[in-house]
Amino acid sequence: MKAVQKQYNKHEDAYKLENQLCFPLYAASRLVTKCYQPVLDELGITYPQYLVLMVLWEQDQVSLSVLAEKLMLQSNTLTPLLKRMQETGLIDRVRSQQDERSIVISLTDKGRLLKAEVPRLQQQLQDIGITFEEAVQLKKLLSKMLRKAE
């Protein structure tokens, strides 16, 4: 009977929030975004817009499909975000000259200038309470997990 009870307790423990991997990942993601928020608000951009800018700072003029792949999003999810970024003068969206069906996303001068603010944004992460070495290790583990999911 004790063995059955032990198995039952193990099974019940699996449903506890404190035993889930998903919750600390979710909460940590929210914490990181919250750390960035004051600077992002000052710059007038959202966190998803910042992610788009990071891709474009690394490689300007990318197709919508490449951008979506790098951000692990569907292109139809990105389209409204990119439209707002174009309206605020951060990016340009034009049809590819090689393939009319493809949209090419590129930075404007205003979008390029925001790159100078990256150190301020990264400075905000000092508030999350882990060392640089721990952050590197965490990023490695998360990257491994994401690669496995692809």
| Strands lying side by side in the sheet with 91-95 | 62-63, 103-107, 91-95
Under the banding of pLDDT at 50, 70 and 90, the label for residue 4 is very low
Could you report the per-residue pLDDT of 27-52, keeping only the tens digit for each?
Answer: 999 998 999 999 999 999 999 999 99
**Phi (first) and psi of residue 133, to 5 degrees:** -65, -40
Nearest one of 27, 89, 79 to 48, comparing CA atoms: 79
**Which spans in 14-131 are helix H?**
22-43, 47-58, 64-71, 75-87, 109-113, 118-123
Could you report the per-residue pLDDT of 61-101, keeping only the tens digit for each?
Answer: 999 999 999 999 998 999 999 999 999 999 999 987 887 78
- pTM confidence score: 0.83
- Position 126, amino acid: Q
- For the chain, what are the domain ranges? 2-149
What kind of fold does domain 2-149 have according to CATH?
A: Arc Repressor Mutant, subunit A (1.10.10)
Residues making up the chain, counted from first to last? 150
- Please give the pLDDT value at position 127: 73
